[in-house]
Amino acid sequence: MSILVTGGAGYIGSHTALELLNAGYDVIILDNLCNSKTESVKRVEEITGKKAKFIEADIRDREALDRVFAQNSIDAVIHFAGLKSVPESWQKPLDYYENNISGTVTLCKAMQAAGCKKIVFSSSATVYGAENESPLREDMPTGKTTNPYGTTKLYIEKILQDTYEADKEWSVCLLRYFNPIGAHESGRIGEDPRGIPNNLMPYIMRVVVGKLPELTIYGNDFNTPDGTGVRDYIHVVDLALGHIKAVEKVLGETGCNIYNLGTGIGYSVLDIKAGVEKAIGRPLPFKFGPRRAGDIDTCFSDPSKAKAELGWEAKRDLDKMCEDTVRWQLGNPDGYGD
Ligand code: NAD
Ligand code: WQD
């Protein structure tokens, strides 16, 4: 079976490509490298001892996509390609709508023309908005996203649901990720963000390697046990393995299904700091700062639907998430380099 992985050179895509190769799938990675490097793909091949086909192309380029489908027999698509920065999406909403939404529509049209109607899509817990109470369940209302990035995920979910409603030959899996952290335990692939990271764990890693002086914790007056924000951090390898189950589902039956991919456990910013300190064996410099606009108290999943229907659950605990992230970062202080 051959799987097209859009955005497969990126953080989650590279870990998923690795698990697909390990599971015996043929993997074709399509990425425009706007937020990644081919080094990740080389390292996936090095770790697995297997080859992935890499195509540098943009999901908005219909002709390139048509060529990919004409030249390869593709059984299903896992669609990671997209822009993902919340603050950047406020500055450049049109870029986000064009890249994420138009890109997905172009991809689906190329898939439809080629008769490949099986897709697993990277959605996000952000579609639950700020009003639902955790644990978040797939049947809770969506629609009140709080930033343009989140709105792209909400609209794409709707586009894919409508596509299935119009043509029941489609098989769609919408995966709502919570907060992915961690790295492959080889320490050879991991998250490599450009510039100053927005997300907690990549920011902490810059402090660990001495590139930033200290962590600023955004607020200690949230309505949580220790006052800092609580999130459902999930090891990226567990997340990747969730995609293997999802791809089996779309290959096996038609339908349109939504699954949370989270652990169901909420950890605070101070819990994450403590986990990293345990992994590095020293205290992490930090200070408390004001809240960041838009941050909510608590967000964690009810992951029971994925367990019941996909037979998947996260297995890696917080210590493992922190150890693996630290191993990657200390072994690669400059990420994948230039
Ligand atoms: P990433 O930026 O590391 O990976 C995305 C990849 O897509 C990159 O390699 C980038 O070069 C590529 N890409 C972007 N636009 C493209 C285009 N038009 N054509 C071809 N390739 C393109 O991000 P990630 O963290 O691996 O996230 C993967 C997916 O999961 C994204 O859709 C993201 O929105 C979603 N997601 C991520 C998180 C998270 O916290 N990391 C949480 C929820 C959902
Ligand atoms: C986690 C916690 C911060 C940085 C975002 C997106 C979401 C999804 C995942 C893609 C919060 C605190 C952070 C720092 C801090 N992405 N923090 N100091 O905001 O839960 O989710 O990424 O879909 O859509 O919104 O993740 O890692 O930014 O923050 O104190 O320097 O860490 O306040 O409590 P978030 P995050």
Query: Which is nearest to 141 in space by CA: 150, 152, 154?
Result: 154
**7 CA → ligand 2 middle, Å:** 21
Q: pLDDT confidence of 255, banded at 50, 70, 90?
A: very high
Q: pLDDT confidence of 101, banded at 50, 70, 90?
A: very high
- How does pLDDT run across 56-84, given as a tens digit for each residue? 999 999 999 999 999 999 999 999 999 99
For the whole prediction, is pTM greater than 0.95?
Answer: yes
Residue 50 in contact with residue 29, Cβ under 8 Å?
no
Structure tokens given for 76: 């299903």
- Distance in angstroms (rounded) separating the CA atoms of residues 199 and 139: 27
Nearest CA residue ID for atom 1, ligand 2: 200
pLDDT at 143: 87
- How does pLDDT run across 143-202, given as a tens digit for each residue? 899 999 999 999 999 999 999 999 999 999 999 999 999 999 999 999 999 999 999 999
Which residue's structure tokens are 């390292």?
43
Mean pLDDT, the chain, rounded, equals 97
The strand pairing partners of 136, in sequence order, are 301
**227 CA → ligand 1 middle, Å:** 31
Asked if residue 269 has its Cβ within 6 Å of ligand 2, the reply is yes
The strand pairing partners of 27, in sequence order, are 3
Share of the chain above pLDDT 70, in %: 100
Task: Tell whether the model's pLDDT for residue 338 goes beyond 90.
Answer: no
